[in-house]
Amino acid sequence: MSEYPSYPASSDPSPSGAAAQARPSTIEGAFWAFIASTVISLLGGILVFGNRDALADATRTSSQQSGSSLTEAQIDQLVTIGIVVALVIAVVIALLYLLFAFKLRAGRNWARIVLTVITALQLLSVLVGQSTWAGYVSVLAAVVGVVLSFMAPSNAYINASKTIRS
């Protein structure tokens, strides 16, 4: 007698006996569009942070206009802290965005909704404020991802994934 429990053999390893549905190309396209949006945003942010002199000049001008007298060392320290804080925030947001993209790829409807809300906020930010070329391209990729995630094959995949999980 074996020490391992004996389970009946099953030719269908999917949960609840339902056949697993293949991931449609619209979900794959949405996933890669969100990945591209994230990468473009990070690259655009790195390019902006690479212009340290312009940030220092803006800080210096702001300091003079407000009447405070910051030394060059203080301005340099403020710019460094600002870059580090912004970079940490950007990386955390990018990691969350990637998590949502992977959850969308796994067929989670809540991830699709979260990505849609984030994309709407991103689009609003680009329309209302000033943006760089990276901001425009990033939001365009995210909008493509949202559109693809709501197409009929994507809806069927998410509904099938929901049925398989329950």
Listed by start position, the domains of the chain span 34-165
Q: What percent of the chain has pLDDT over 90?
A: 46
Tokens of 16: 């609840």
Contacts of 155 (CB under 8 A, 6+ apart): none
- Prediction pTM value: 0.76
Residues in the chain: 166
Predicted pLDDT of residue 4: 53
Whether the predicted pLDDT of 110 surpasses 90: yes
Alpha-helical (H) ranges within 8-108 are 25-49, 52-66, 72-105
- Which among 127, 107, 126 has a CA at the least distance from the CA of 30? 107
75 vs 116: CA distance, rounded Å:
39
